[in-house]
Amino acid sequence: MPGDSAASAPGQSGTRTERPVGRKASGSRWGRLLEGGLPRGGVQGSPVLRLFMRWVRRPLLPVMRLWRRNIQLRIVVTTLLMSLSVVLLLGFVVIGQVRNGLLDAKVKASQSQATGGFTVAQQRADSAASVAGNDSAAELDGERVQNVVEWMTNLVNSLSSGGQGAFDVVTLSPASADGETGGLGPRASGGVAWDLSVPEALRDRVDDGTSAVQSYTRIFYTNGQEPQPALIIGKQVNDPTGRPYQLYYLFPLTQEEKSLSLVKGTLATAGLFVVVLLGAIAWLVVRQVVTPVRMAAGIAERLSAGRLQERMKVSGEDDIARLGEAFNKMAQNLQLKISQLEDLSRMQRRFVSDVSHELRTPLTTVRMAADVIHDARVDFDPVTARSAELLADQLDRFESLLADLLEISRFDAGAAALEAEPIDLREVVRKVVSGAEPLAERKGTRIRVLGDQQPVVAEADARRVERVLRNLVVNAVEHGEGKDVVVKLAAAGGAVAVAVRDYGVGLKPGEATRVFSRFWRADPARARTTGGTGLGLSIALEDARLHGGWLQAWGEPGGGSQFRLTLPRTADEPLRGSPIPLEPKDSRRGRGGSDGAVRHGGGKLATVPVQAVEHTATRAPIGPLPGGGQVPTADPTALPGNGARVVSRAGVSPAAPPAQRSSEDAGQTEERLPEDGSEEQQGKQEQQGEAFRGR
């Protein structure tokens, strides 16, 4: 439909409708943020799991919020984490260095000790062999073995005797494949448990070559001593008989390990201090920056709240001071500009006010003169007489235009004051209706008043409310095409409402908001003929706003329109809803909907099938609007303040209870404006003039 795009695009109402949607989106974004990496998607299936996740997340929420909002916390925590990792890295490097340094010396000393030992062992073996060779070449094998065993024991003793506590010596005969040891069992000095202390791998490497091989190990003792870390150096050496055996030197590293752990402890303590101190420093430093920033934020808030004289305290010449100076300069310029603008607007207001006042005195003279002439017109020739009539008529119009302009300028200047006192809206309606009777008779219209059984009392400015209602009623009569005009009153919750319904041409899409624009005319050509200031509904809207109330329009092309004034029951109380739905029950859609409900049997509203997206107002029978006609429930779809009209979309299940509906679709349903009410519209404009003439 051609109206569709136009319906939602123009005017404030269009943007207004977006707002709830936007808020929702941002809300979910926050939600996602809060959840962090929690696997939301997978959780959604199971309510139990979801509950659990919520339970887990809840205590974290304040922390997350603090994290998001507090830059100081963030920086301190980041500093702590980073300095911790730096200290850890540093510690590992330092400890590695120290260990290397300590071990290098030990290893060198041990190597020379071991090399000496190996040489001595070799020499002894050689000398023993030569002696044996000379003396007892013919000795029996058994004797020789006996000698070697003895020799070996001596060797171990002598070798180890040099380094009591500094090293131990172990000899192992090669693990020959046949398992024969030749009587040479392993020997070890200082109670070393050789089998545990000498790693298997080392033994193999010693077997493989003749050079010295070293490794780290732990020494285990057979005498119950604590095992110790040690350096072990082994070599294959020949015994006097020429058979190889393995000689190992074991150097305990106890001392070195003690030194190292001392260094580690020191480093850890120092590191911890450094981290903590860095955190504290970061906190202090950030505070230096953050405090002025927070101060600036606070002062900016106060500035924006209108306290323009607020300034930051500036001390020193650093960047923060520059920030403060710049901020203050900005505030000063703002203050200057604002006061300039205020002066300007005050001058302009004065000007408008003065102009209209200055206009009034000559206008009074002209008016009186015109009336005198008008009264005497019977004595004139027809042309002059007609001129006198035109003069008087147009003076009326001129006057009402001037009055409206002055009224609008009063609103613009914020000079309009509300004189609220408890009034019964029925009285006002009665007065307005009786005032509009003559016009209604001329148009052949009947004005019906509904909902005036009980008092409808609200704190309001009777003069303004009367002006608004007179405007609405006169408009409705003028555009009602002789059909009935229904004025409906209702009170519910903290609100009262008066709705004026006509069955005339209605409103085109988008016009429901535009009718409130100043000097807006749907069809300029036609508007001229009836004349009207074009300010009536604008003033009415301002009057409603002054009360903290709403003035809204609904209309459908060819189906008439409804203007609804909602006022809070007590001044200062914010409006949450209106007792009368903006779209009347007997709108075309409403009527169609009830038919549909009947067809579906039982009149069960909730079962009315949801219509697909064909939702122009001219179409589509849908369930009756929620809230029904006089049902005094709040209509939360009502939008505050401006004239936005609210029509639920066909796609939305129309039978949902109002409250629920509001939460679901308040943002989306709106702005399905009916087409073709344009003529109606202009008409409206014209009437305003009428409406005001009565004022």
Partner 1 sequence: MKGRVLVVDDDTALAEMLGIVLRGEGFEPSFVADGDKALAAFREVKPDLVLLDLMLPGRDGIEVCRLIRAESGVPIVMLTAKSDTVDVVVGLESGADDYIVKPFKPKELVARIRARLRRSEEPAPEQLAIGDLVIDVAGHSVKRDGQAIALTPLEFDLLVALARKPWQVFTREVLLEQVWGYRHAADTRLVNVHVQRLRSKVEKDPERPEIVVTVRGVGYKAGPS
CA distance 395 to 373: 13
Is 422 a binding residue for partner 1 by CB under 8 A? The answer is yes
In angstroms, the Cα distances linking 648 to 192, 551, 584, 604, 616 are 95, 18, 12, 19, 10
User: Does 372 interact with partner 1 (rule: CB under 8 A)?
Assistant: yes
**Per CB under 8 A, which of residues 323..362 are in contact with partner 1?**
356-358, 360-362
Cα–Cα distance measured from residue 648 to residue 639, given in angstroms and rounded to the nearest whole number: 13
Minimum gap (Å) between residue 614 Cβ and partner 1: 49
Position among 203, 243, 287, 367 found at the interface with partner 1 (CB under 8 A) = 367
Residue 391 interacts with partner 1 (CB under 8 A): yes or no: no
Contact between 414 and partner 1 by CB under 8 A: the answer reads no
Please tell me whether residue 368 binds partner 1 under the rule CB under 8 A. Answer: yes
Question: Does position 462 bind partner 1 by CB under 8 A?
Answer: yes
Complex with partner 1: residue 461 or 586, whichever CB lies closer: 461
What the block records as the tokens of 674 is: 């009916």
415 binds partner 1 (CB under 8 A): yes
Q: How many CA atoms lie within 13 A of 483 on its CB side?
A: 15
Q: Is 135 in the site for partner 1 (CB under 8 A)?
A: no
- Our finding on whether 377 is near partner 1 (CB under 8 A) is no
**CB count, 10 Å around CB of 474?**
28
Give the residue, chosen from 156, 233, 312, 423, that forms a contact with partner 1 under the rule CB under 8 A. 423
Residue 421 binds partner 1, judged by CB under 8 A: yes
Using the minimum distance from each CB to partner 1, give the nearer residue, 424 or 481: 424
Q: Which is nearer to partner 1, 409 or 594 (CB)?
A: 409
Q: For residue 14, how far is the Cα from the chain centroid?
A: 23
DSSP 587-618: SHHHHHHHHHHHHTSTT-GGGSPPP-S---TT
Could you tell me if 332 and 309 are in contact, meaning their C-beta atoms sit under 8 angstroms apart? no
Distance CA 673, CA 27 (A): 29
Residue whose CB is less far from partner 1, 367 or 377? 367
CA-nearest of 148, 137, 140, 132 to 238 is 148
Candidate segments 60-68, 221-229, 259-267, 415-423, binder of partner 1 by CB under 8 A: 415-423
Measured from the CB atom, is 283 or 398 closer to partner 1?
398
- When asked if residue 424 is in the footprint of partner 1 (CB under 8 A), the reply is yes
Residue 562 CA to residue 319 CA, distance in Å, equals: 61
Widest distance between CA atoms in the chain: 180
Instruction: Say whether residue 369 binds partner 1 (CB under 8 A).
Output: yes
Q: Which residues face 245 on adjacent strands?
A: 237
| Closer of 317 and 572 to partner 1 (Cβ) | 572
Nearer to partner 1, 87 or 489 (CB): 489
Instruction: State how far the Cα of 13 lies from the Cα of 351, in Å rounded to an integer.
Output: 33
Q: Which is nearer to partner 1, 472 or 617 (CB)?
A: 472
Six-digit token pair at 256? 């070195």
* DSSP conformation letters of 236-264: EEE-TTS-EEEEEEEEE-HHHHHHHHHHH
Q: Is 399 in the site for partner 1 (CB under 8 A)?
A: yes
Rounded CA gap, 578 and 548, in Å? 13
Tokens of 494: 């903290």
- In a 10 Å sphere around its CB, with 0-12 CB exposed, 13-18 middle and 19+ buried, how is residue 600 labelled? middle
Asked if residue 431 binds partner 1 (CB under 8 A), the reply is yes
Picking from 243, 247, 133, 137, the residue whose alpha carbon sits closest to that of residue 189 is: 247
Give the binding range for partner 1 (CB under 8 A) out of 90-98, 263-271, 455-463, 618-626: 455-463
Is residue 463 a contact point for partner 1 (CB under 8 A)?
A: yes
Q: Binding to partner 1 by residue 410, rule CB under 8 A?
A: yes
Minimum distance from residue 44 beta carbon to partner 1 (Å): 56
Query: Who contacts 361 (Cβ-Cβ below 8 Å, separation ≥6)?
Result: none
Q: Minimum Å distance from CB 343 to partner 1? A: 21
* Interface with partner 1: number of residues (CB under 8 A): 29
Strand partners, 221: 192
Q: Which of 371, 412, 452, 484 binds partner 1 (CB under 8 A)?
A: 371
Return the number of the residue (173 or 409) whose C-beta is nearest partner 1: 409
Give yes or no for residue 397 binding partner 1 (CB under 8 A).
no
The Cα–Cα gap between 501 and 587 comes to 10
**Residue 205 or 360 having the CB closest to partner 1:** 360
Options 103-111, 366-374, 509-517, 641-649: segment touching partner 1 (CB under 8 A) = 366-374
Q: How far is the CB of 578 from partner 1 (least distance, A)?
A: 23
Residue 365 as a binder of partner 1 (CB under 8 A): the answer is yes
DSSP states of 511-553: HHHHTTSTT--S-HHHHHHH---S-HHHHHHHHHHHTT-EEEE
Residues at the site binding partner 1, with contacts judged by CB under 8 A: 356-358, 360-369, 371-372, 399, 402, 410, 415, 417, 419, 421-424, 431, 457, 462-463
